[in-house]
Amino acid sequence: MLTGRTIVVTGAGQGIGCGIACAVAEAGGRVVATDLDLAAAEDTMRRVEELGGSGTVHAVDVTDHTAVSQVIDDTVKTVGQLDGWVNNAGVLRMGPALEDGSEAEDWAAQFDVNARAVLTCSRLAARQMVAQGSGGAIVNVASNAGKVGYPNMAVYNASKAAVISLTRSLAAEWAEHGINCNAVCPGGVDTPMLSQVAGWIGEREGVDPAELLPLMRPAQLGRHIQPIEVGRVVAFLLSESATIIRGQSINVDGGDTPY
């Protein structure tokens, strides 16, 4: 499905990013794993290699225009071209919307990584794809939080809603260049971020997070979603088989979100 294609995955060091990298390898693609934590990206690459895949790793801050450009340059010099880009890197800071706090800092931190960097990375990747003349695919990892609006996550919810809207815009604008853009909206995935949410709620409500976490799963599925399951949907959206799916934000949350 992705044989001969090179895919960059941001935030690939753990969670959904690691699952995406592994799924790309399963599908025959070459993986460029980027993360703020180089050691974590290297751990992911070891898993990719165990699956028979190959690739490179880079320590990258997705809000750093120069660093992102360098990854693209290095990738093109190494393998000749860039075929796909996955904007997965994300951050979450929880807090009640009624309470005062470091609102400006929280807004900036989450929107810089979750939304602004998605546009920056997509733009740089798209420019390379246009220069190649071969098109490509971009997949953004949004969240069902961008559709549902979970409590105590107002800024995060808004940042992911921005990704959903941005995906529609980029798909329409870049179609003429053969660049397909879509998003996935995960929920209930077995990741460190879900554990973070359980920890925050548990501390405030005096409940053991270990008791909360098993309850934070898709009702219809009856279990947590595994990162590689999200990754396999992303791998499909990166492939030629997804050409007729454009500008969509697809729920991958076990049926929790019906729209």
**Is 160 one of the annotated active-site residues of the chain?**
yes
**What is the structure's pLDDT at 102?**
64
CATH 3.30.479.20 at 6-189+226-252, yes or no? no
**What is the structure's pLDDT at 101?**
64
Task: Select from 220, 213, 232 the least CA-distant residue to 256.
Answer: 220
- pLDDT per residue over 163-197, tens digit each? 999 999 999 999 999 999 999 999 999 999 999 99
**What is the structure's pLDDT at 22?**
98
Neighbour-count burial for 209-246, b at 16+ CB within 10 Å, e otherwise: beebbeebbbeeeeebbebbbbbbbbbbbbbeebeeeb
**What is the structure's pLDDT at 243?**
97
Q: Would you tell me the crossing angle of helices 15-26 and 38-50 to the nearest 10 degrees?
A: 30
**Is 156 one of the annotated active-site residues of the chain?**
yes
- pLDDT per residue over 203-236, tens digit each? 999 999 999 999 999 999 999 999 999 999 999 9
Q: Which residues of the chain have pLDDT under 70?
A: 101-102
Task: Select from 156, 157, 185, 183 the least CA-distant residue to 170.
Answer: 183
Tokens found for residue 24: 């790309």
Residue 147, class by beta-carbon neighbours within 10 Å (0-12 exposed, 13-18 middle, 19+ buried)? buried
| Catalytic option among 77, 147, 150, 160 | 160
Domain ranges of the chain: 6-189+226-252
**What is the structure's pLDDT at 67?**
98
